[in-house]
Amino acid sequence: MHTSSVPSSSPSACSAWKEVTTTMTAVKCATCGKMVQKYPSQVRERNFCCNGCRLTWFGKWTADCLNVPGHSAGHKAPHLTRLNQLRNPASSLHSNGTSVDKRVYRRIVEKAIGRELSSGEDVHHINGNRADNRLENLRVMSRSEHHQLHMQVAVERYKGGD
């Protein structure tokens, strides 16, 4: 490794100022091989000349190390799905494992009330069954009210109330 001295501070109003030098080290970029100067505290196992090289390396590393058989993208691993269903029974999966299409019950409510729902409005399934899209089972709530309601339910379940 090549080292050189570079001034790390400039004169201040203090009359006792003296020039301080810090030794920099030349390191090779892990992606493109370009030599760059780094302070000793910045030298890592892999060094990069720019953020573009770091992102290029990270993308290749992700493809090589994470996209392997047995590792699923997006937390679709069966054990995580079961854990999420236990923690939040009203998750985005039906009990048969198929996805819930939120647009279906939003459209049902929008047609009934004669207007589009705003982005801050949620549709709540009163009986907790997201597959039950009967109008009498659907209730429009603000997003904050909906979160508060589900938090109350979760707390009651945690305490053993249901």
pLDDT of amino acid 65: 72
Which residues share a beta bridge with 3? Answer: 25
pLDDT of amino acid 91: 52
Domains assigned to the chain: 3-8+20-65 (3.30.50), 78-159 (no CATH)
pLDDT of amino acid 157: 79
pLDDT of amino acid 20: 54
Structure tokens given for 121 = 């409005």
Of 131, 125, 134, 133, the closest CA to residue 153 belongs to 125
* HEC letters along the chain: CCEEEEECCCCCCCCCCCCCEEEEEEEEECCCCCEEEECHHHCCCCECCCHHHHHHHHHHHHHHHCCCCCCCCCCCCHHHHHHHHHHCCCCCECCCCCECCHHHHHHHHHHHHCCCCCCCEEEEECCCCCCCCCHHHEEEEEHHHHHHHHHHHHHHHHHCCC
pLDDT of amino acid 152: 85
Torsion from C-alpha of 99, 78, 86, 148, nearest 10 degrees? -50
pTM score of the predicted model: 0.40
Rounded CA gap, 123 and 121, in Å?
A: 7
pLDDT tens over the chain, length 162 residues: 555 555 545 555 555 455 556 789 999 999 999 999 999 999 999 999 999 999 999 888 877 776 666 555 555 555 556 666 666 655 554 555 555 676 788 889 999 999 998 988 999 988 888 888 899 999 999 999 998 888 888 888 778 755
pLDDT of amino acid 86: 66
pLDDT of amino acid 100: 62
